Amino acid sequence: MDIFTIDQFEKLSNQRGPQHVSIYTPTSRDSSDNYMADKIHFKNELQEAESKLVTLFGLNSQEAKSYLNPGYKLLDDPLFWSRASDTLVFLLNQSGAEIKTLPISLSESMTYVGNSFALRPLLPLLNSTGKFYILNLNLNKVQLYEATSHTISEVILSDDVPTSIDDYLVFIERQQSLQFRSGQGGKAGAMFHGQGGTDTEKVDIEQYFYKLSKQVDALMECEPLPAILAGVEYLLPMYKKTSGYTKFTEEVITGSFGDDDVHMLHEKAMVLQKPKHNQHRTAAIEKFASLKDEDWASAETQTVLLAALTGQLETLFIQKNEVIWGSYDAEKHSLTIKTDDTEVTKELLNEAAIQTLLKGGTVYPCEGEDMPAKNSVAAAIFRNPVR
């Protein structure tokens, strides 16, 4: 699974010119038929893109197929398909191809060919609302992750953090050896390979957790998010006892998880977190309803877009399948709306979302019936009154 950032989104959104191809197709993380169904779906979308390149940009069939060659090469790459996430994102223009496997939930494939990339399906990956940590207490390799509802990425711990109990015991052994040589006594402990069953092993684990938590706590306090503990059941209360971090959730994930279990770990965490994420969205809709008759919220499309493009939005709701092409004149603070995607226009709802996210706001792509104001294309809560 790849990581996708707001900087990448902004860079892609600024690319203009003919023959931009955007393909999104659902993929499987596991398969019993060598991912044949996934490959067939993607091949069908490539063929649709071929047809659109011929129709919209005048390429002949062979030219279109050659242009899409980076996509066709994927069909013969078994390693790529075995590492798939939920969705294959294939973005191609005359500068080359961007190919990513991302945790986006799609009901069906989509292909768009035009003068810019279709990026709306990527928006859910970029919201910071609902971020949380997962601390996996595997005694052979402790790992800290930062996650959202759609992403999970490992937080790289510095070299001085003992990420296994054996690392810690080797450190203690060296310290005791130095003390012994200087006449201070002490005796090194044995390496830890048990399951924490003996009193000695439990003491070793607890002392290890004191050392570990001091450093991990300091790292998490830089951005104090909710944190979920994961690991074998007896380890979790031991770690909480040693840690001073105050934002651990009551819910925990029990089991033994290693490097290959990151997706499983994320899925288990989302079972615990999804109700909380839904609460954020519901609270935002309720806040919009309480402010909509004042200057702090609006569902008037042009007002929302202008406020978004100048960084004035706390929360933006946009209808998933709506598209508004146009341009923004910063000097006149005005919008020009067009009917088509051209080399000089931009998709203004995308632009509004980018600027909202860059300024630390939250974006909620919604189905039409879920928009906070009936028949609205865009709605927003402002950071300050907007008239």
pLDDT tens figures, 339-376: 888 888 889 998 999 899 888 899 998 989 999 999 99
pTM for the whole thing? 0.69
Number of Cβ within 10 Å of residue 292's Cβ equals 15
132-275 and 292-382 in the same fold: no
The list of the chain residues with pLDDT below 50 reads 178, 180-181, 183-191, 193-194
> What's the farthest any 2 CA atoms get from each other in the chain?
86
In this predicted structure, what is the pLDDT of residue 287? 96
Q: Which CATH superfamily is domain 132-275 in?
A: eRF1 domain 2 (3.30.420.60)
pLDDT tens figures, 49-66: 999 999 999 999 999 999
- Over pLDDT 70: what percentage of the chain? 91
Quick one: tokens of 321? 């399948």
Give the up-direction half-sphere exposure of residue 387: CA atoms within 13 A in the CB hemisphere. Answer: 0
In this predicted structure, what is the pLDDT of residue 189? 44
Nearest to 217 by CA among 135, 282, 301: 135
Nearest to 42 by CA among 9, 2, 3, 73: 73
Q: Where are the domains of the chain?
A: 6-125, 132-275, 292-382
| CATH class name, domain 6-125 | alpha beta
In this predicted structure, what is the pLDDT of residue 234? 94
In this predicted structure, what is the pLDDT of residue 3? 66
In this predicted structure, what is the pLDDT of residue 185? 44
In this predicted structure, what is the pLDDT of residue 382? 97
CATH 3.30.70.890 fits domain 292-382: no
